């Protein structure tokens, strides 16, 4: 069963704009991860944030985690056409060796 | 694609036939996973392995079996393929479990007629 749920399900923006994606989840977690999937390809890990962290940066990516609201957001700054992809959040629940993925959201960056 | 290959990359088969998908890694990672990806469902875990000969079921394991006789290879078998198993199958690996970062293969697109 899905743990994380991405919102919005689809987002279309212009190149250079910022893109914000949200993920909500239901149970307590050890960490939350974001992955990207280009059309026809496998998933690529973007960033992992642990339950005791509130914010993390990696290049143009900024992830926040609010465990009290059971939500996370992924911000991509200065988007590029190459950022066009599907994005998934995945949560790791306490003691589990498994990740539970959301259904994903589609980002389109128009040149 | 961090040293992970999947074979075949595409397969068309008929209902009732057995199918085996192979995942091969060169990273010597302990954990290996099989997922299926379907529209509207995202990624769902089928089976995973936490060591040679050590496997466990995931969320959607019915109709699937797995084997891992070597660290580098993880096989997924559909004993008798059904049309509901038409999907894209992804293998993933991770050096540690406990929900840590996973690295995905390129996927196998399976069509069951």
Cβ–Cβ contact A2 with B under 8 A: yes
Kindly report, residue by residue over B15-49, the tens digit of the pLDDT.
999 999 999 999 999 999 999 999 888 899 999 99
Task: For residue A42, list chain B residues with Cβ-Cβ distance below 8 A.
Answer: 1, 4, 90, 104-107
**Residue predicted with more confidence, B93 or A94:** B93
pLDDT in the model for residue B2: 63
Nearest to A97 among B48, B90, B107 (CB): B48
Sign of dihedral through CA atoms A12, A18, A24, A28?
positive
Q: What is the mean pLDDT of residues A96-104?
A: 85
Task: For residue B100, list chain A residues with Cβ-Cβ distance below 8 A.
Answer: 31, 48, 92
B63's CB contacts (< 8 A; 6+ apart) are: B78, B79, B80, B82, B85
């Amino acid at each position: 069963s899905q743990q994380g749920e991405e919102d919005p399900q689809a987002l279309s923006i212009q190149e250079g704009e910022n893109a914000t994606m949200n993920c909500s989840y239901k149970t307590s977690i050890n960490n939350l991860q974001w992955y990207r999937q280009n059309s026809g390809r496998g998933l690529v890990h973007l960033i992992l944030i642990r339950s005791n962290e509130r914010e993390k940066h990696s290049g143009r990516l900024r992830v926040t985690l609010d465990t009290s609201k059971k939500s996370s957001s992924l911000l991509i700054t200065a988007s590029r056409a190459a950022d066009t992809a599907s994005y998934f959040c995945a949560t790791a629940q306490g003691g589990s060796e498994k990740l539970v993925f959301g259904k994903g959201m589609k980002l389109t960056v128009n040149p | 694609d961090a040293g992970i290959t999947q074979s075949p990359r595409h397969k068309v088969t008929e209902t009732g036939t057995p199918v085996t998908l192979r995942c091969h890694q060169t990273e010597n990672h302990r954990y290996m996973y099989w997922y299926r990806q379907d529209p509207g469902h995202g990624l769902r875990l089928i089976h995973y392995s936490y060591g040679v000969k050590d496997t466990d079921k995931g969320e959607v394991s019915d109709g699937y079996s797995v084997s891992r006789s070597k660290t580098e290879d993880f096989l997924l078998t559909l004993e008798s393929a059904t049309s509901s198993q038409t999907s894209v199958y992804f293998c993933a690996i991770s050096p540690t479990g406990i929900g840590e970062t996973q690295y995905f293969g390129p996927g196998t697109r399976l069509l069951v007629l």
